[in-house]
Structure 1
Amino acid sequence: MQVKGNYMVNTTPNVVWDMITNPAVLEKITPGIKTLTVTGPDQYDAISEVKVGPVKGNFEGTLSLKDQVNLESCVLVVDQKSKMGNVVAEISMKLIPDGNDNTEVQYTGDAKMSGMLARMGQRIMSGVVSTLSRQFFQSLNKELEGEPSTE
């Protein structure tokens, strides 16, 4: 399944970059993440609980950031397993300054699902992915608006 979108964040690429590369902030803003444990540079064990529409379940696996170009782009890799199926996703994110201290985050990628998740169908899972993406950026904005991070 293809994942694609963009979101405008009301801050500079430097701030967005610092947030998505900080494990404490990443844990806080990524939907469903219960714990994010550092296992190596930019690599984490992730335990999550997802409740979006028909998708409800506990997932365990890894999350990592790769192919980083400082302040410009990275690839978020998620590999999660659960009783209802597995998800492996690679999402490329680009940070594009707009010249007014705002940043457009463009993301594209591919998510592969197996088990019951795959059988739910493209339309349902597309809606789930869209909701989780929106929640990620809403949480990022809340963090920017002054809610203290758990650093």
Structure 2
Amino acid sequence: MDLTGSHILNADTNRIWAMLMDTDTLARIVPGITRLEKTAENEYKAVAEIKMGPVSGSFSGGLTLQDIREGEGYTLHVKQSSKIGNADATIRIDLKPTDEGHTELVFDGGAKLSGLLARTGNRVMSGVAHTLTKQFFNNFEQEIETV
């Protein structure tokens, strides 16, 4: 399943970068995350609860930041497992300054699904991924406004 897109955030690149590197901020803005704890440098244990249409489950696993380019982006590797299946995703995140005080966050990658998640079908899972992405950016915008 492909995961690609972009969104313009109402903050400069330095601020967006700081927020993306902060564990507490990520735990608040990533949909479904109930716990995110640092286990090593750029490695985290993540627990998530996802309930959306036919997709519902408790996921746990790891989240790793790789290929870190200070202030520009990184590659996010997420490996989660649950009773309803597993997800293994690698997504490149790039930050691009647009005009004064705005940043475009571009993401490009994919996820491999197994178990019930894979059997649910790409169309349903693509819809779920789209909804979660939209929630992520809505949460991110709200976080920018409150900080």
TM-score (norm 2): 0.97
Equivalent position of 1:2 in the other structure: 2
Note the C-alpha offset of 1:112.
0.3
Q: State the identity as a percent.
A: 41
Counterparts of 1:111-130 in structure 2 under 5 Å?
Answer: 111-130=111-130
Equivalent position of 1:52 in the other structure: 52
Q: Distance in 1 between matches of 2:132 and 2:71?
A: 23
> Which stretch of structure 1 is more off in the superposition, 112-121 or 64-73?
64-73
Q: Distance in 1 between matches of 2:13 and 2:52?
A: 29
Q: Distance in 1 between matches of 2:38 and 2:61?
A: 12
Say how many residue pairs are matched.
147
Q: Distance in 2 between matches of 1:69 and 1:12?
A: 16
Equivalent position of 1:26 in the other structure: 26
Counterparts of 1:1-151 in structure 2 under 5 Å?
Answer: 1-146=1-146
Runs of 4+ deviating beyond 6 Å: none
The letter for the 2-side match of 1:49 is E
The letter for the 2-side match of 1:143 is E
Q: Deviations over 1:3-57 (max 9, x none)?
A: 1100010011111110011011111111101001110011111111001221110
Q: Deviations over 1:53-107 (max 9, x none)?
A: 2111000101121111011111111110000000000111110101321001110
1:36 is paired with a residue whose SS is: strand
Q: Distance in 2 between matches of 1:110 and 1:32?
A: 19
Instruction: Structure 1 unaligned segments of length 5 or more: list them.
Output: none
Instruction: Structure 2 unaligned segments of length 5 or more: list them.
Output: none
TM-score (norm 1): 0.94
